Amino acid sequence: MTDLISIAVTTVVLGSIYGLVAIGMTMIYGILRVLDMSQGSMVMVGGFVGWGIMTSAGWSPIVALVAAFAACFALGVVTQLVSVQPLIGRRGVDFEMITFITTFAVAIVFSNVALQIWGAGQHPVPNIVSGSVELYNGVNLTYQSMLMAGVSIAIMIAFGVFLTRSRYGIAVRAIAQDVDAARLMGVPIKRVFPVVMGFASALAGIAGVFLAGQYFASPTAGDQPLLIALIVVVFGGLGSLPGTIVAAYAIGLIQASASTLIGTTWALPILYGVILLVLLVRPQGLLGRPMEARL
């Protein structure tokens, strides 16, 4: 029973954070057809912004969240302009593979610049709120976890409302389905593309502040979130938002059960094992639509 409750709690917390990083990635893929490998760097940068503002400057966590959002938004826009925009419509290249590689290059640059500036060490970031509540017989839920899950879920809901109700939200989904028709409707796609990547990066930056409170800020802090976001995105079916959110919690559940029941070292191998199995059975991901027969 203790195990079950602690698994449930961890699932919700992990799943919410993964969802926050992964919806950005899935949105970028759906709209730009880019699997953005620089999203991990945004988590890392968010962590350092949190460290700089809360630990070094001693300012309020709210400032840290806002600053992480702004900084990562700007970095995301720059990344799009530098590594994706020049390749749109280029002939004779596989756009998906080549942008996969350019955003990967950006990620290499970001994490090594961070390494140069802040060193390889782990920088502690305080929790935004302290304290915890005992749920059941030794299972504690920290307020930090509660806040993380709460804020992540709130952001995801707000994002869902934006996509289904607002003018640009609907336009963003329209672009993902038919770029040419969206242009006929007058949607300025050249401006929307960088904004989409900036916004997704900003979400990753917020996740970075939370994760740094849980672990540390460090130049490699984005690697594991990136891998997990990739898994979540592919698991959920690339470009499918509901699929991504379901997958985020599913992955959270697998990881929580594996580390609680078997041990933390084996959590990742088991996770990857499950992914291998899922892809073997459903090559298009959980909620992805199967590719039509190519002939």
Q: How many CB atoms neighbour CB 92 within 10 A?
A: 4
Which one, 54 or 230, has the nearer CB to another protein?
Answer: 230
Binding positions for another protein, rule: CB under 8 A: 35, 82-83, 86-87, 90, 92-94, 96-98, 100-102, 104-109, 111-113, 115-116, 164, 167, 170-171, 173-174, 177-178, 180-188, 223, 227, 230-231, 234, 238, 265-266, 268-269, 272-273, 275-276, 279-280, 283-285, 291, 294-295
Beta bridge partners of 133: 141
CA distance 45 to 294: 41
Report the nearest approach of another protein to the CB of residue 160 (Å): 14
Report the nearest approach of another protein to the CB of residue 275 (Å): 6
CA torsion through residues 107, 251, 170, 204, sign: negative
* Per-residue CA distances from 243 to 120, 176, 213, 279, 287 (Å): 36, 16, 28, 14, 5
Which one, 6 or 255, has the nearer CB to another protein?
Answer: 255
Q: How many CB atoms neighbour CB 186 within 10 A?
A: 7
Report the nearest approach of another protein to the CB of residue 184 (Å): 6
Report the nearest approach of another protein to the CB of residue 135 (Å): 31
Beta bridge partners of 26: none
Report the nearest approach of another protein to the CB of residue 95 (Å): 9
Which one, 32 or 35, has the nearer CB to another protein?
Answer: 35
Report the nearest approach of another protein to the CB of residue 41 (Å): 11
Name the residue among 181, 183, 157 with its Cα closest to residue 241.
157
Which one, 60 or 177, has the nearer CB to another protein?
Answer: 177
**DSSP element (H, E) containing 113:** helix 95-118
Which one, 4 or 276, has the nearer CB to another protein?
Answer: 276
Angle at 39 (CA atoms; ends 275, 277), nearest 5 degrees? 5
Which one, 4 or 101, has the nearer CB to another protein?
Answer: 101
